Amino acid sequence: MLLPTTLTALAAAIVINIWLSIRIGRLRTSEKISVGDGGHELLGRRMRAQLNFAENVPLVLLMVAGIELAGKGGVWLLPVAALFVLGRVAHGIGMDGGSMGWGRSAGTLITMLTQLGLAIVAVLIVAQVM
C-alpha cells in the first residue's frame, strides 16, 4: 500500500535533518570543535535542536503512517503533516535565539498540538473499529 502523505513528510524530514546537520557541521568547522559542544552556546543550541527533531519526528511519522494505513488520512492529513514540518523548521531556527527566538516556541507549540491531535484521531479510529 502506498502511503503518500507519510512518504512526503518523511522526505521533508530527511531534508530538514540534513539541514540541521549542516548547520552544526559548519559551526564545528569554524569553531574547531570536533566532539561535544566545547562550551560554545550556539553549538549546544544547534545540537539540541537536532536532538529535539530526532525525538519528535519519528513519533509523528509513525502516527501519520498508522492513520494512512487505517484508510483515514483523507485530505486533512497532508496539511497537518506539512504544518508539523514547518514547525520543526521554525524550532530549528528559533533555537539559535536572537530575533528569531520566537520560532522555538512556535515550533514547540505546533509539534505538541500535532501530536495531541493525531493521538486523538488514532483513538477515535480505534474506537470506531472495535
Question: Mean pLDDT over residues 31-43, rounded?
Answer: 87
Number of folded domains that form the chain: 1
Contact at 8 Å (CB) between 63 and 116?
no
Question: Mean pLDDT over residues 80-104, rounded?
Answer: 96
Residue 106 banded pLDDT, cuts 50, 70, 90: very high
Q: Which domain holds residue 80?
A: 4-129
How high is the pLDDT of residue 34? Answer: 87
Report d(CA 36, CA 44) in Å as an integer. Answer: 8
How high is the pLDDT of residue 36? Answer: 84
Record the pTM: 0.90
Task: Please report, rounded to a whole number, the percentage of residues in the chain having pLDDT higher than 70.
Answer: 98
Q: Identify the CATH number of the domain in which residue 90 sits.
A: 1.20.120.550
Question: Mean pLDDT over residues 77-81, rounded?
Answer: 97
Which stretches of 70-101 are DSSP H helices?
A: 77-94
pLDDT at 95 over 70: yes
DSSP 10-74: HHHHHHHHHHHHHHHHHHHHHHT--SS-TT-HHHHHHHHHHHHHHHHHHHHHHHHHHHHHTT--G
How confident is the prediction for the chain on average, in pLDDT? 95
pLDDT at 130 over 60: no
Report d(CA 6, CA 3) in Å as an integer. Answer: 5
Residue 12 has which C-alpha cell?
Answer: 521533508
